[in-house]
Structure 1
């Protein structure tokens, strides 16, 4: 990093090579009260990089808060105290700088994935981003898929414990209740989709996926944070043959419309045609009297009638003629 400095007065020092770069050594010989200069810098709200040397993480966070919602970016350096002690050797970057670095590195590394890689997938620690790229992800191959990238992020051991399958099931509903009076939703999910996964394993997968920013927690719910289209499309290819069975199981749980709305919204045109074919085939769940005469089943058929009136009418005619 360019060493910027020096002046004979307590001040923020401008780099002669770049007027947008300022430097201040918190523990330097010229240290002192720079409160006025900081206020002036904040009020000016110009695009500046403020480099703070010998700055602790606590002090860094204080400066980041001071310049929040301004154009001033903070880069802080915690200096190595000795050759034997590197625990405090670090560079702290404010969130906006870090996101820009992550976005630049990730989009260049994965040109075909491009902007579909969310910055939230990696920690705001730059070292973790670099480690992720160096150790887990190979250079762009041209045929790398989002699913492969997600599996890499989740990690091999977590994949073995069903973390990807759990994430994929949550994507089918968008949000699932996991506590208080909404715990019935995760219990239904476990019963229908994850009957081989114990409670401890489910809770562990939730924590892992939240830590990796693939899920988020809002009060009593866990929510998918992205990649719905890719996750649902991958699930559809593998599991579409079980659609009738799933619809029948979900009836009466309060999850039926969550599921069908997500499927209809996120499948591409080709898969939408496959979905419609299954819904209105001779083996359609709509022919099942137990389903069609249930409260949710009848409501589901009514909703289908709005978009597919002729198809639903044809099935109802066939049902009447067969009875």
Structure 2
């Protein structure tokens, strides 16, 4: 395979470098499907990988990009043939396996999902890992037996990628959505996605109490840390919070009080190694339920050459919604 353009992270004595350069196709890792990538996305984990702020990358050189969509070029996998449109999220791509911010990718076919009918590759990456994770969270709340009749639903980190899609999905499902954000200037944006109330981040960022006034029956948390602890303390009896991110830290300074005194549940969301059946269920629901006009409203598109320059802004919380990278 000829060389192709890719963002490449390389290890140095003082840390790491990130550059857009030609990558030799012979250096792609093992896999039974080769994909011509048309679109990728920028996610929080990509920002960590590209800046080196956390040890996300496990091998060097590494092509970042934890998700991508494109067309099969070559396949030894029984389910995929050249020309098939596919989507990939997770499985260590962009961390331990060369990722999607490139014109080509070679992966295991078992990691792929056929592009759902009705979605374009660009729309699939507008959804991306963030939107897919939000859908897994909604499905977890539903499996727990929660419905909009139980009370409001809170979304933390609401103006980010996961949060934006979560707001839209919960609204579509009939929930009264409370959008928690540290960016007050995004109130109009969040209301346009379906938020009924805007909650300032300060209401959830103080020192957590074991229990607080009950405010919501369900929640999707992409922040972690004190924000998640406070969200749990404010959850109604029998309610649940789906935890799917750690932008605010890995710790959880909570207590057992919400769990043993109110029967609150903490639902962990693993979007990386989700088995095929729930993975395809989530993508089918996204294709069916996510309003395309709202998806456009929360999405910006940049060319491959500009992707590397957005990593710092992404980590600083200065990127709204979803960012799609147009590869070709």
TM-score normalised over the length of structure 2 = 0.22
TM-score for both structures, normalised by structure 1: 0.22
Bigger fraction of residues in strand: 2
> Which structure's CA Rg is the greater one?
1
User: Hey, which of these two has a bigger chunk of helix by percent?
Assistant: 1
The one of the two structures with greater contact order (alpha-carbon pairs below 8 A, sep at least 6) is 2
